């Protein structure tokens, strides 16, 4: 196999495609549409999710269930993913089934069956997907972070949508949305794994090259600017199933393609990655105020959040945990970071970056997201090059300007009816 092309190629109909080798006997085929939950029309949250399920469900030459059976007969797996910024279909099969999968994905792209019967089934699937996380005691916490973490951006609606807003949706509205958003000229086809490059080029041109370029105008996608949070805010949550108090702190973070992203990633690794990240080391092992901690750096195409979330250890309450979390996060700005600690954080980042390329499945996911969210297939490689140059003072300088001086949202959830002291009284 010759060396991979890093830049996607464009077919005459506007479809972009890229093929990259990956270890193992399988191949992954991923179709990513650059339309996400943020593009759902007002009052129709979940329309992207619903449409993706319809596209995945049946088409002119694929009866309901036939695609899944075809994948199963090959010994593969298939999934769909809806994100705030994109919607994707992914299938992994043994390499000798690659051309069949390209046929099937071209078929799902060209001729999805959008009719009232399939709509009813897709509605049920959306409802199940939305309710599924709620079985977990802290399942309402994450949606609350997005809902309150973003001040006005549609990202606050989350990725899955609201089934209530889809109840009275007519199939014509779905067709119109599909025509404007799920289009070959807004999609990227990713092929990863073990393949012959010349054969893949031929197959892509054959099966996808004749997908008709859309006749209708595309959905208008706006670049929405999220305002800066004006002041600190505390919100009290009710999590009736939760056995331990929880606290979350939410700071605003830049959009994914911001030049400072590699610095945020290293800061995140210093605080939250591994067993020796500062948050776990101090709050779980040393002070024993937390049972479990997470730090998420969630950067979307147009805005992002940094979320520090913890479950309090037995006997603790939410507010002191939030204070301890905040102190530890802020401390990164001033407490010295040794070269050894910085190297450890970079080693954790590098390993995860490397691991992406170990299987067709993970590599296809990564490339699809890099294109849809960062607008650059090589974004991760550029990040890795930037990490190597970063010094502790770069991280601390960013932290002082972006975290220490920035307002923070605090979410507090105590157990039962115990009041969360210091809360502004808003109950979500």
| The two structure tokens encoding residue 43 | 């009052």
- Residue placing its CB nearer to another protein in the complex, 226 or 414: 414
- Residue placing its CB nearer to another protein in the complex, 48 or 301: 48
Give the SS3 label for residue 338. coil
Helices (H), 62-140: 66-74, 98-110, 116-131
> Which residue in 372, 268, 305 sits closest to 158, CA to CA?
305
Tell me which residues in 279-318 interact with another protein (CB under 8 A).
280-281, 285-286, 288, 291, 311, 313-314
At 70, give phi and psi (nearest 5°).
-60, -45
Give least dist CB 285 to another protein, A: 5
CB 343 within 8 A of CB 273: no
- Verify binding: residue 93, another protein, rule CB under 8 A: yes
- Verify binding: residue 205, another protein, rule CB under 8 A: yes
Give least dist CB 73 to another protein, A: 5
- Residue placing its CB nearer to another protein in the complex, 103 or 229: 103
Give least dist CB 13 to another protein, A: 10
- Verify binding: residue 14, another protein, rule CB under 8 A: no
Geometric angle at alpha carbon 381, from 16 and 31, rounded to 5° = 25
Give least dist CB 303 to another protein, A: 29
- Verify binding: residue 343, another protein, rule CB under 8 A: yes
Give least dist CB 414 to another protein, A: 14
- Residue placing its CB nearer to another protein in the complex, 160 or 408: 160
- Residue placing its CB nearer to another protein in the complex, 80 or 408: 80
- CA-to-CA dists, residue 43 to 84, 168, 321, angstroms: 16, 11, 37
- Residue placing its CB nearer to another protein in the complex, 242 or 333: 242
- Residue placing its CB nearer to another protein in the complex, 299 or 359: 359
- Verify binding: residue 6, another protein, rule CB under 8 A: no
- Residue placing its CB nearer to another protein in the complex, 26 or 252: 26
Helices (H), 285-378: 318-331, 339-355, 360-369
- Residue placing its CB nearer to another protein in the complex, 73 or 327: 73
CB 310 within 8 A of CB 249: no
Half-sphere CA count of 87, side-chain side, radius 13 A: 28
- Verify binding: residue 233, another protein, rule CB under 8 A: no
- CA-to-CA dists, residue 130 to 127, 133, 201, 237, 383, angstroms: 5, 7, 38, 19, 33
- Residue placing its CB nearer to another protein in the complex, 47 or 211: 211
DSSP letter at 217?
A: P
Half-sphere CA count of 182, side-chain side, radius 13 A: 30
- Verify binding: residue 9, another protein, rule CB under 8 A: no
Give least dist CB 26 to another protein, A: 6
Q: What is the largest CA-CA distance in the chain?
A: 66
| Locus of tokens 């805010």 | 233
Tell me which residues in 73-92 interact with another protein (CB under 8 A).
73-77, 92
Tell me which residues in 359-398 interact with another protein (CB under 8 A).
359-362
Give least dist CB 51 to another protein, A: 10
Enumerate the β-bridge partners of residue 186: none
Tell me which residues in 48-67 interact with another protein (CB under 8 A).
60-61, 65
Binding-site string for another protein from residue 100 to residue 139, where x marks contact by CB under 8 A and - marks none: x--xx-xx-xxxxxxx-----x-----xx--xx-xxxx-x
Give least dist CB 65 to another protein, A: 5
- Verify binding: residue 331, another protein, rule CB under 8 A: no
Give least dist CB 397 to another protein, A: 24
> Which residue in 80, 81, 29 sits closest to 189, CA to CA?
29
Give the SS3 label for residue 265. helix
Q: Which stretch binds another protein (CB under 8 A): 31-39, 147-155, 173-181, 382-390?
A: 173-181
CA atoms of 172 and 365, how far apart (whole Å): 31
Contacts of 418 by beta carbon, 8 Å cutoff, 6+ apart? 245, 317
Tell me which residues in 237-276 interact with another protein (CB under 8 A).
240-244, 273-276
Give the SS3 label for residue 286. helix
């Amino acid at each position: 196999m010759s060396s991979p092309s890093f830049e996607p190629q464009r077919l005459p109909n506007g479809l972009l495609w890229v093929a990259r080798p990956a270890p193992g006997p399988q191949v992954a085929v991923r179709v990513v549409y650059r339309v996400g939950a943020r593009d759902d029309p007002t009052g129709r949250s979940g329309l992207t999710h619903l449409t993706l399920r319809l596209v995945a469900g049946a088409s002119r030459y694929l009866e309901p269930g036939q695609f899944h059976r075809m994948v199963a007969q090959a010994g593969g797996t298939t999934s769909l993913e809806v994100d705030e910024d994109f919607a994707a279909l992914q299938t992994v099969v043994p390499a000798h089934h690659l051309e069949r999968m390209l046929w099937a994905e071209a078929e799902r792209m060209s001729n999805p069956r959008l009719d009232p019967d399939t709509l009813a089934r897709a509605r049920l699937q959306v409802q199940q997907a939305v309710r599924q996380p709620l079985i977990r005691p802290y399942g309402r916490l994450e949606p609350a972070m997005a809902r309150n973490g973003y001040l006005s951006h549609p990202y606050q609606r989350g990725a899955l949508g609201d089934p209530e807003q889809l109840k009275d949706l007519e199939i014509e509205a779905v067709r119109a949305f599909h025509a404007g958003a799920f289009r070959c000229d807004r999609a990227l086809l990713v092929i990863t794994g073990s393949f012959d490059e010349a054969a893949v080029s031929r197959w892509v041109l054959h099966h996808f090259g004749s997908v008709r370029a859309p006749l209708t105008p595309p959905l208008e996608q706006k670049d929405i600017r999220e305002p800066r949070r004006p002041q600190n805010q505390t919100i009290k949550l009710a999590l009736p199933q939760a056995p331990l108090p929880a606290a979350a702190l939410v700071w605003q973070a830049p959009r994914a393609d911001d030049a400072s992203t590699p610095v945020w990633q290293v800061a995140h690794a210093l605080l939250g990655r591994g067993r020796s990240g500062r948050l776990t080391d101090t709050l779980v092992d040393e002070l024993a105020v937390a049972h479990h901690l997470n730090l998420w750096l969630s950067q979307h195409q147009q805005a992002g959040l940094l979320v520090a979330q913890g479950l309090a250890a037995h006997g603790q309450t939410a507010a002191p945990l939030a204070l301890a979390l905040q102190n530890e996060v802020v401390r990164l700005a001033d407490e010295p970071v040794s070269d050894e600690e910085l190297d450890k954080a970079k080693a954790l980042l590098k390993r995860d970056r490397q691991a992406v390329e170990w299987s067709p499945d993970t590599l296809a996911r990564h490339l699809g997201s890099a294109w849809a969210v960062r607008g650059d297939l090589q974004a991760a490689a550029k990040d890795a090059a930037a990490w190597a140059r970063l010094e502790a003072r770069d991280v601390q300088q960013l932290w002082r300007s972006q975290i220490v001086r920035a307002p923070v949202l605090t979410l507090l959830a105590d157990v039962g009816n115990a009041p969360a002291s210091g809360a502004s009284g808003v109950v979500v």
